[in-house]
Structure 1
């Protein structure tokens, strides 16, 4: 709000006093304008709207030639647009009819193909069934023929086996008869020639409780060419029991050597196990336990591996014909056994 500056003092008035204000009185300020201004603005706005509507009504007057020409052009445009839409609709309907006909044709063609396919499937199933039936009959015939062939083959093989068995039996009997005749002949000839053993000698132990013996066959003529046969059929008495040689060596008429391995009454060859030692489970969860023994009474000069493998052992209610693993440590022979044990699982 503006204020005026008073450069001149107020006029002197005889009626003024010291109590009068220095600034003179002002005109009252109108804070609010007159309502007539707003009314005038509203009236002008209404008049403008009426003038616009009037001009618009004048431009759309059907009696006006320009308006009629404009309307005619608009009608022509709308008519052409309508005709175009009609043509497009007719063309669309034609395409629809063509597509419908094509769909009908396709449906009929598809139906015909389906019927044809069904007929082909039925024919194929029928042919397959006939083929299966034919193959089944053929398989049955072939099976029967195969069974007959197998039975015939078995019958022939059985006949051949019977013939071979009879032939083999005859050959065995003939061979045994020849062997017996030859043995009798050799025995008679040996007795006639009075062949006998001399120089019977015992040797080292060959295996557990077994010792080797040798002897020389005497009274063998120089012309006799069946010295080995005579050696193998001439028994010798060892510990009061007759034994036949295990093998013979022919070094000449007066040097036929027989060899025996006697496994009875040979206590010097009987080794045995001592110092039973339980080595525990092989490994956790293995389910196997290891046992160790020391081999005692091993004959001098004997094969420690042979005696370790043939000396029987008994422990924990089990019997073993020999050790499973053998080794020597500091001149001693040891055997190990490994067996299943549930407590090691």
Structure 2
């Protein structure tokens, strides 16, 4: 009988592990049943813990704590709302009290005003009574015044009648006095005329130059007069003929005992040599930027060198551009170039 040896002969060899035997179907089912039971126990324990009401259970306590915190938060919210509502209510009460105080103040003011108005009404009624009393007194005084006025009117009428009679008498006396005075004056004038019968002017002297535009001075000495004649009066009243006109002197100059009394005439007619005139004007432009004035100049014509050039320049009238001037505003003597007058006229183009 042959025996199989486990010893390897020849080259080394590896030992083979025995292959596991497959599980049976019964064992497999048993394993799954145990697993299902274990899972069920775990789930049951969890559910029991969840549904448990034991206060000592930590999970239950945590759950109760969470609910309690929610309720505390809700309570705090309600308390906050109540606090706000209370504050609003207190504010409204304060406003109501303020309004009530204002109303009470207004009521007090109204009562004070009513009392003042009552007092003023009483005073007004008292013043009306006084006014009526004064009016009655005034009417009595007016009646007295009217009576007095009527009495005065009657007296005035009587006085007017007496005054008229007195004035008629006085007028007659005054007429007689005036008539007597008139006769005396006429007598004096007749005597004066007789004295002045020999009054006359000596030679009339014509001034060699003009005094101003169109005017020349004439002078004449009063002739001998009789004793007692007022020479200045005779000078002022005695006429002389100049250019065919009889005129009295403009003034009289008493030159003393030896030179006598002289009459002076300022003749402003028929003096053609004294009638200077202006040549064409020249526009010299604006006096200065923004001045609003334009400078005009013109040459004086028909001027005698013997005449006072300033007087002639400032009195010679000039019309240009619809403007009239009694004379130049300023003058200049430029020698051989002549006498020039200057005007500064308003011009909006120079603004």
TM-score, normalised to structure 1, is 0.49
TM-score, normalised to structure 2, is 0.48
